[in-house]
Amino acid sequence: MEESIILQERQFRHFRVTPRTPVIGGWIEDFHLGDLNDEAAADLREALWHYGVLFARKQHLSFDAMKAVAWAFGDQLETHSYAPTMADRGHPEVVIIRKLQSEKAKTTTDIWHHDVTGRKHPNIMSILQADQVPFGADTMWSSMTSAYARLPDALKQLFLNIEIDHDTLYLMLRHDFGDASMSPDKIAALGEAHTHPAVIAHHATGKPCLFVGNGYVKRVHGYTAELSELILKIANEMPKIPELQVRHQWEAGDVAIWDNFATCHYGVSADIGDQLRLLHRVASWSDRVTPTAYRPDGDA
């Protein structure tokens, strides 16, 4: 079995990045994301593709500033199909991530997942800013580049040769997601179902990434449900490996920016009682960027 990919520290012109773990995550230091310009955006892209997820303290970005960061990575901003947004304040691209302890406030954040993979063009990246997060309600990210590298060669070959069916309706039914305002009929009407390779070539780096997750995945394409469950379980054990993870304890004004292809993430529910967990997210995508199968050198 191969070891995880160890990150080499990088130098950037407009800010400093301090690694948080040997394989994933870095602190952005000496820079405010509200000052982002074209040259700094180039640095930010390079840093994100290298570290997988970036963190910055005390940013307190406006929604417009969050959107400016997202524009640096994709030519379209996500308008979420069903999640609550700040549309009433002129920002339909800003998703409200809010959780109260309630039987009618289900969540899909407390599973390892990539975002919106039921779509043909999933998000390239996301920027998330904390407004109010109780103690313990952290967020974790796991490197799917290192997850693939850790697989034994025989399992690499397995995942290189399969595709995964992703389906937003299946996510809702399997994980009991949503509240009384949502129904299977509404989700089904979105038509968000697509088949993606289990191992993709990262659109910017070309590196292989295990692209499965435990959110939108329905089954291995063309396989029976029984056999699919066994294979998906192998894939979904990989993000749980502590050596592949970084965990962030939020403070108000903190920002996290992550690569939605090379990492997956998990929102820690914690025991928050009746406390509010409130964050805001903006994501970008492009119809020119879609998960593409990784082919090792020499393969057709």
Q: Is 185 exposed, middle or buried (0-12, 13-18, 19+ CB in 10 A)?
A: exposed
Question: In this model, does residue 106 exceed pLDDT 60?
Answer: no
Q: Is residue 1 predicted with pLDDT exceeding 50? A: no
CATH value at residue 61: 3.60.130.10
What is the reported pLDDT for 300? Answer: 43
Cβ neighbours for 157, distance < 8 A, ≥ 6 positions apart: none
pLDDT tens readout for residues 42-64: 999 999 999 999 999 999 999 99
Q: How high is the pLDDT of residue 99?
A: 73
194 within a domain of the structure (yes/no): yes
Segment holding 55, helix H or strand E: strand 53-56
Q: What is the pTM of this model?
A: 0.94
Domain count, the chain: 1
Check residue 179 and give its pLDDT.
59
200, part of any domain:
yes
Task: Report the pLDDT averaged over residues 152-181.
Answer: 88
For 50-100, write each residue's pLDDT tens digit.
999 999 999 999 999 999 999 999 999 999 877 889 999 999 999 999 875
On average, the pLDDT of the chain sits at 92
* 277 pLDDT above the threshold of 70: yes
Q: Is the dihedral of CA 39, 291, 123, 52 positive or negative?
A: negative
pLDDT of residue 4: 62
Taking 60 as the threshold, does the pLDDT of residue 134 lie above it?
yes
In a domain, 175, yes or no: yes
Structural domain of 274:
16-285
- Residue 269 forms part of a structural domain: yes
Within 13 Å of residue 144, how many CA atoms lie on the same side as its CB? Answer: 27
Evaluate whether residue 280 is within a structural domain: yes
Give all strands (DSSP E) within 227-285, no chain letters.
Answer: 245-248, 255-259, 263-267, 277-285
Q: Quick one: average pLDDT of 166-184?
A: 78
What number of CA atoms fall less than 13 Å from residue 45's CA on the CB side? 16
pLDDT tens digit sequence for 112-126: 999 999 999 999 999
Taking only the tens place, the pLDDT of each residue in 218-255 is 999 999 999 999 999 999 999 999 999 999 999 999 99
Residue percentage of the chain with pLDDT more than 90: 78
216 belongs to a structural domain: yes
Half-sphere exposure of 295 (CA within 13 A, CB side): 5
| Residue 34 DSSP symbol | G
